[in-house]
Amino acid sequence: MRRAYNAGRWDAARTHASHLLLRPSEQTLARSVIVRSYWNEGRFQELVDSTEDWHDELSHSYREQAIDRLKVTGGAKKLTMMKEEKLQRLRDEQPKPKVPIQWSAEHMDANYSQEGSRVWFRYPEGYVFWDMPSDYELQSTHPALLCLTAEVLLSPWISSSKGPLPKGRTQGERASLSFSAGTDSTAAAAVMDDSTLLGYHRRSFNSMLDHRNAERLINHLNSTGEREVLSISSNHELIRTNHGKPVGFSTDFACASHLLLLADHFDLGAIGFGMPIDNTYLWKGRKFRKFEETQYYTYWTKRFAQAGLDLLFPIASISEAGALMIVKQSSWLEHLNSCMRGDGINGCGRCWKCFHKNGPLGRPFDITSSEIQTFLNKRPMPTATHALWALHIMNQEGQVPDLSHLFTSDLSWWTQVYPPAYNLLPDRWRTSIRNSISEFLKDMEFPHYLEKINHFDE
């Protein structure tokens, strides 16, 4: 029994122990082996069931702890069920087209229809829609764009959405940007040409997300004519809720599904994403990688090209901090706030965005808030390089005493440009983006410190 227990063979240890339960001299030891082995395996229900009539101290104490554990997991299960029911209700409430569409796993472009200015998309579990400009025509949209839209929405679950794209779309002339009105995409908008079309995705149903901060900047850009921003309402963030995920984008590129569908309407030749170094050359913001060699980059660049579009990463050369420095120097700063829980003007001061986006801009936040503390105490720390820089410039290094060794080098390079990233930009768009960025920020010195980053020795 002891040997089995010490070797972690819990089942065998319990079998031996159960034979000894009736021997008074062995009973205490036998009970403790049964209790501890169930505990070690996390089999709390069995532990509770088998100790019902055991009143010794050890069995009693483990039994109480097991009951607590069961309450916690039971509570978590109940919460998940409540969330699931709420999402089901939300999906049930969504509108449906007047004329049904038959789902086709084979022909992705056959899953669309248009009723008025609303474009419908059929997917296996239901329908989603986009409300397009009134003169939009689905039938004048190249099928490659429809298939690529289906792929960015369904590829995690429907492998046939990754099939060959119909050929023959001619690349358009105008660049566009998937625009969230947050700091990164605003910095991307600032370094792209004035003629860039900014596409804002507007969640069509109510949620915790507050659009007012975004609308303030969008109204400013549209009313001054500095940029053209198009807001498109859609409910496609519900697709992934059919797969046990919360409301959100199916893939990183789903946030541009409206621009893909509008690419012929606006003669688009490129779609940009405001992805900073933290997500390109750094893996999870904490370990250097050659972004251009990742499967992510090569695969999606090829797919967009097959639909006559350049996939652009205009701020792949700069970090979140660089993006902050750009918006700080722009006239848009006073109209911008990345916090999605603010009152329409200010940030909430208590979320992670308020700490790492608003804090370095000199805006108020509460370092003791539970969300900010949770993120700061996670290891590896999320968006670590940026968070370290933010802690450093705000004199808050003391918040993470175990990471003090990461503050020994000078972090000023983090707000500078990593020039090799310019090679990701197709010739046609490179010069103007490069010139704009260099008006705002200096290049990093060579050799590039960025390439050494691996904060947690992974």
Which residues of the shown chain bind Zn ion in the complex (CB under 5 A)? 339, 341, 347-348, 351, 354
- Which tokens sit at 251? 């893939």
* Shortest Å, Cβ 350 to Zn ion: 6
d(CA 155, CA 136): 26
* Shortest Å, Cβ 90 to Zn ion: 24
Cα angle value 256/177/432 (rounded, 5°)? 150
Q: Which residues contact 318 (CB under 8 A, 6 or more apart)?
A: 187, 276, 277, 326, 416, 417, 418, 437, 441
Specify the residue, 321 or 339, whose C-beta has the smaller distance to Zn ion.
Answer: 339
* Shortest Å, Cβ 356 to Zn ion: 10
- Give the dihedral sign, CA 95/101/103/106: negative
> What one-character DSSP code corresponds to residue 454?
B
Specify the residue, 372 or 444, whose C-beta has the smaller distance to Zn ion.
Answer: 372
Task: Report how many helices (DSSP H) and strands (DSSP E) the chain contains, helices first.
Answer: 15, 10
* Shortest Å, Cβ 358 to Zn ion: 7
Specify the residue, 246 or 364, whose C-beta has the smaller distance to Zn ion.
Answer: 364
One-letter amino acid at 138 equals L
Specify the residue, 236 or 350, whose C-beta has the smaller distance to Zn ion.
Answer: 350
Specify the residue, 211 or 245, whose C-beta has the smaller distance to Zn ion.
Answer: 211
- Which tokens sit at 67? 């009951």
Specify the residue, 232 or 372, whose C-beta has the smaller distance to Zn ion.
Answer: 372
Q: Which residues contact 192 (CB under 8 A, 6 or more apart)?
A: 175, 177, 272, 314, 429, 432, 433, 436
Residues 338/346, Cβ–Cβ less than 8 Å: no
- Helix axis angle, 295-306 relative to 143-154, nearest 10°? 150
Residues 78/70, Cβ–Cβ less than 8 Å: no
* Shortest Å, Cβ 130 to Zn ion: 28
* Shortest Å, Cβ 370 to Zn ion: 13
* Shortest Å, Cβ 318 to Zn ion: 23
DSSP three-state, residue 126: strand
Question: What backbone phi and psi angles, to 5 degrees, belong to 357?
Answer: -105, -50
d(CA 145, CA 262): 9
Specify the residue, 79 or 209, whose C-beta has the smaller distance to Zn ion.
Answer: 209
Which letter, b or e, does each residue of 248-274 get, where b requires 16 or more Cβ atoms within 10 Å of its Cβ? ebbeebbbbbbbbbbbbbbebbbbbbb
Specify the residue, 143 or 349, whose C-beta has the smaller distance to Zn ion.
Answer: 349
- Provide the 10 A C-beta neighbour count for residue 36: 18
* Shortest Å, Cβ 181 to Zn ion: 14
> What one-character DSSP code corresponds to residue 381?
P
Residues 200/214, Cβ–Cβ less than 8 Å: yes
* Shortest Å, Cβ 254 to Zn ion: 24
Specify the residue, 322 or 347, whose C-beta has the smaller distance to Zn ion.
Answer: 347
DSSP three-state, residue 200: strand
Specify the residue, 271 or 387, whose C-beta has the smaller distance to Zn ion.
Answer: 387
* Shortest Å, Cβ 341 to Zn ion: 5
DSSP three-state, residue 318: coil
Specify the residue, 307 or 339, whose C-beta has the smaller distance to Zn ion.
Answer: 339
* Shortest Å, Cβ 245 to Zn ion: 23
One-letter amino acid at 288 equals F
DSSP three-state, residue 175: strand
Specify the residue, 197 or 327, whose C-beta has the smaller distance to Zn ion.
Answer: 327
Longest CA–CA span in the chain (Å) reads 89
* Shortest Å, Cβ 337 to Zn ion: 8
- Provide the 10 A C-beta neighbour count for residue 2: 11
